[in-house]
């Protein structure tokens, strides 16, 4: 059995008149993500981590932000495609560890809902999913409420 790690990162600007979708759930907020897709930074970082762990490259290679097919797409559909790629190559997800960096909205009350949704989308027990919320103490774009960043690490194994 071979074990691999992956690290994903994403950042999206916050703007008015867009939805705030995080981990495939909509969180009530006055701003949302400026993006070609639904802008789900958590799922985008997760996809990047999974692709990296499997040696596939990055999210832009598979789901480019200039492809009309992905305009406004629900990012969970991209995650499903990524999970299928991993399964086809005999990879199994072991755990997810994500850090969400935003000043507002506070995500503490949504962490369990996000874990449940990611569990449904990946088939991973929610006990093996960690979601952490951090702020930037009002520094830089995320700290000033202009963007949201996510770092995501995964562990996968390849077996028979």
pLDDT of residue 65: 86
CATH number of the domain within which 143 lies: 3.30.1330.50
Rounded distance, CA 9 to CA 151, Å? 5
DSSP code at position 25: E
Domain that holds residue 17: 2-158
pLDDT tens digits along 7-51: 999 999 999 999 999 999 999 999 989 888 899 999 999 999 999
pTM above 0.85, yes or no: yes
Rounded distance, CA 100 to CA 27, Å? 14
Per-residue pLDDT at 150 exceeds 70 = yes
Dihedral class, residue 39 (left if φ above 0, else alpha if ψ from -120 to 50, else beta): left
pLDDT of residue 112: 96
How would DSSP label each residue in 129-147? Answer: EEEEEE--TT-HHHHTTSE
Rounded distance, CA 75 to CA 5, Å? 22
Instruction: Tell me if 149 sits within 8 A of 134, measured CB to CB.
Output: no
As a whole number, mean pLDDT of residues 94-117 equals: 95
Domain count, the chain: 1
């Amino acid at each position: 059995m071979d074990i691999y790690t992956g690290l994903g990162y994403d950042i999206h600007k916050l703007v008015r008149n867009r939805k705030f979708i995080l981990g495939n759930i909509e969180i009530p907020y006055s701003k949302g993500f400026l993006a070609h897709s639904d802008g789900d930074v958590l799922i985008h970082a997760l996809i990047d981590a999974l692709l990296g762990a499997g040696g596939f490259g990055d999210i832009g290679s598979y789901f480019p932000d200039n492809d009309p097919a992905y305009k406004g797409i629900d990012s969970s559909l991209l995650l499903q495609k990524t999970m299928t790629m991993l399964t086809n190559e005999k990879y199994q997800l072991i755990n997810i560890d994500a850090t969400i960096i935003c000043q507002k909205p506070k995500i503490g009350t949504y962490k369990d809902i996000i874990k449940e949704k990611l569990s449904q989308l990946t088939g991973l027990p929610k006990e093996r999913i960690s979601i952490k919320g951090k702020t930037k103490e009002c520094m830089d774009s995320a700290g000033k409420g202009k963007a949201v960043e996510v770092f995501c690490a995964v562990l996968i194994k390849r077996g028979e």
